[in-house]
Amino acid sequence: MRTGNLPAPPPLVWLIGGSDSGGSSGIQADLKAVNALGGHGCSVLTAITAQNSQQVSAVFSVTPTQLLTQLDTLYTDLKPSTIKIGQLPDSTIAITLANWLENHRREGKPLVIWDPVFYASSGAPLSELSSDSIRQLLKVVDILTPNLLELAYLSQAQNAARAVNDDQALTQLHALSQYFQGDILLKGGHAEDSQTCTDLWRPCGSVERTGASLSSQFSDKTPLATDCSSQQPSPEPSTNTTQQLDEQDKACLVSTYRLSTAHNRGTGCTLASALATALALGYAKEDAVVIARAYLQQALRSGYATGAGAGCLGVGSWPPQQHNLPHWQEIMAPLPQKLSFARLLQPIGIYPVVDDLQWLIRLLPLGVQTIQLRLKNKTTAELEQQIKRATELCRDYQIQLFINDHWQLALKYQAFGVHLGQEDLATADLETIAESGLRLGVSTHGYAELARVLPLQPSYIALGHIFPTQTKQMPSAPQGLKRLQDYVQLCGSLPTVAIGGIDTTNIQSVLQTGVQGVAVVSAIIGAAQPEKALAQLQHHCHHLRAEHRGKL
């Protein structure tokens, strides 16, 4: 029982799989990842393996009774937030588990992630599953995380071998989708690209044949720049894809630098367990994929030798650092890279977002440094007239004016900048915006969208929504202060703006996260005395900055 102000207990992540006596993979790797990311791992053994860093000498399966006793005992007291499945040594164990999950999911539905394990790194077989047992298990699985070898096994490929090119992998994905309708994270570690590792995230509901290039979507001469501060080259979308894509396809490529290390045992276990933990912590699926991939990248960087064979992954930490963050590229909406957007000329500070020129005229004399004009439900003539006049006024006041969405008019009248949402990035002419000197602000709502736009190096990144807001219907849950602080750290030197439900009651805690700007909408235009409300918000901002200067 919780008392006082004790923190909430960590979410429970069930880990169902085999034990690795060498401590590098299986349940041992699972527990390290779950605990490192803030979850609590509960283990259910399906097999005991006798292995070291060089070989697997034996696999001993538990009995169905032993498996069920573990599951039932845990369930009476420690119900899971998520369930991660790894090694299932035989069909009997797989069917027993599938039936148990089917019966208990009626009482609650924790997400189930299956990382299929058929072979050890040495090539030794670890599972012998029939087609029937696989299909029964897939009925109760929500997310599948196979590599190319495992994809072939699951898809019942005639030659049970990994795909050697994109078309073969897509054919196998198509075959698998006939009897699995959940999400798939297809891992690209076995692909032949020597510079990058590219995974394919295919959410439930995407078309079956994505037309994605799994290993060559990015130019093999241009390695991925996941550390945006290092000025390394960024990936370029491939132009070799020939298949027709459905415009509703939501599949994405998740790419990182391929790290050259021999200490890489347990990568699949670690990735899937990190994914399960991020989901248990309440992150959206796309964000959880990015968190898991970033965690794996830092674990690979800190790998170490344990014996004469391949070594073990290190233990990562939270939050992910920018150089470990993967690049997230939507297949149907790829973004150009290698762009350079103009920088801001002064700090952002309190950033009013107003919906009419009259508000802008009213606030400009009050010490505002940055302002956004978000015009909705206006005629073409009204849009042009208001943007033209707003640009002239802000130029006179030397204020940084960002036009929301209407980048063509912002270019025409030489506004200071344009602010775009995620859905607008793929349709806007980003190259022209960058070349013109127009600044770019971008909205983000989590790790996946950050991983998508960080390589662009925009002029600022908006992070939201932080608190509940009635301004507009939001696609995500409120981020809260802890996540905001993590995002600010992840963005590094890029200016950041917090937005969503911020007013005088919470602005001080928002500013303490290190964010450089605070965007406000209803806190000003919905206030009984807007000028007074703006002055109070500015006071908090100036007061906190004065405190920081005093501590230097």
Catalytic residues: 374, 443, 472
User: DSSP character for 229?
Assistant: G
Q: How far apart (Å, rounded) are the C-alpha atoms in residues 514 and 491? A: 11
Say if CB 246 and CB 199 are below 8 A apart: no
Distance CA(66)–CA(89), nearest Å, equals 14
The closest alpha carbon to 87, from 57, 130, 50, 45, belongs to 45
Structure tokens at 376: 């909705």
Length of the chain: 552
Per DSSP, the three-state class of 332 is coil
Tokens of 48: 């005991």
8 Å CB contact between 44 and 69: no
Nearest alpha-carbon partner for 362 in 533, 153, 540: 533
Report the distance separating Cα 243 and Cα 240, nearest Å.
9
| Helices of type H across 76-204 | 91-104, 131-138, 148-154, 166-177
Rounded distance between C-alpha atoms, residue 207 and residue 101, angstroms:
27
State how far the Cα of 351 lies from the Cα of 500, in Å rounded to an integer: 12
- The token duo for 284 is 């959206």
- Burial category of 378 from C-beta neighbours within 10 Å (exposed 0-12, middle 13-18, buried 19 and up): middle
Tokens of 321: 């650092």
For residue 279, the surrounding DSSP H or E stretch is: helix 267-280
Half-sphere exposure of 264 toward its Cβ, with a 13 Å CA cutoff? 11
Cα–Cα distance, 476 to 441 (Å, whole number):
19
160-198 burial, b for 16+ CB within 10 Å, e for fewer?
A: eebbeebebbbebbebbbeebebbbbbbbbebebeebbb
Q: Indicate the residue type of 518.
A: V
List the Cα angle 159/112/482 in 5-degree steps.
125
Q: Which two tokens stand for residue 50?
A: 């006798």
| Neighbour-count burial of 37, counting CB atoms closer than 10 A to its CB (0-12 exposed, 13-18 middle, 19+ buried) | buried
| Cβ–Cβ under 8 Å, residues 269 and 30 | yes
Token match 């004016």: residue?
401
Using CA atoms, how far residue 6 sits from 1, 140, 269, in Å, is 10, 35, 31
